[in-house]
Amino acid sequence: MAAGLMRHLSDARVDVYSAGSEPSESLNPLAVAAMAERGIDIGGETPRVWDDAMVRGADVVVTMGCGDTCPFFPGKRYIDWEIEDPSGKSLEQVRLIRDQLEGRVRALLEELAPPVI
């Protein structure tokens, strides 16, 4: 959801890669539905595992509670967002998680690529 929000809100001002340390086999259908409510289609995304090249190529790596399983490279900026996992949650709970992510994504986007006026 965070990657979908960043892609949508950044209007191509930043490159976004999404992966995880232990991704599920498929996207959470309630996460897809919650994002669709905002006009953001993440349904075509495929969960994938971080690889070293992806992390080495990133300026900022946002993690969500992966701890020691996340790849770490000195000199990279890491941000850990403690966000509840939407797995097994109701649509209402997933909406709350989406909204929390949106606030964090907006703040990070403002820092990384403020709008051009």
Q: Spell out the domain ranges in the chain.
A: 2-112
What global pTM score does this model have? 0.90
Average confidence score pLDDT of the chain: 92
Does 5 or 65 have the greater pLDDT score? 5
The confidence band for 117, taking pLDDT boundaries of 50, 70 and 90, is low
Query: What's the pLDDT score for residue 46?
Result: 92
- Both tokens of 59, joined, read 């300026």
Give mean pLDDT, residues 6-14. Answer: 92
The confidence band for 5, taking pLDDT boundaries of 50, 70 and 90, is very high
CATH topology of domain 2-112: Rossmann fold (3.40.50)
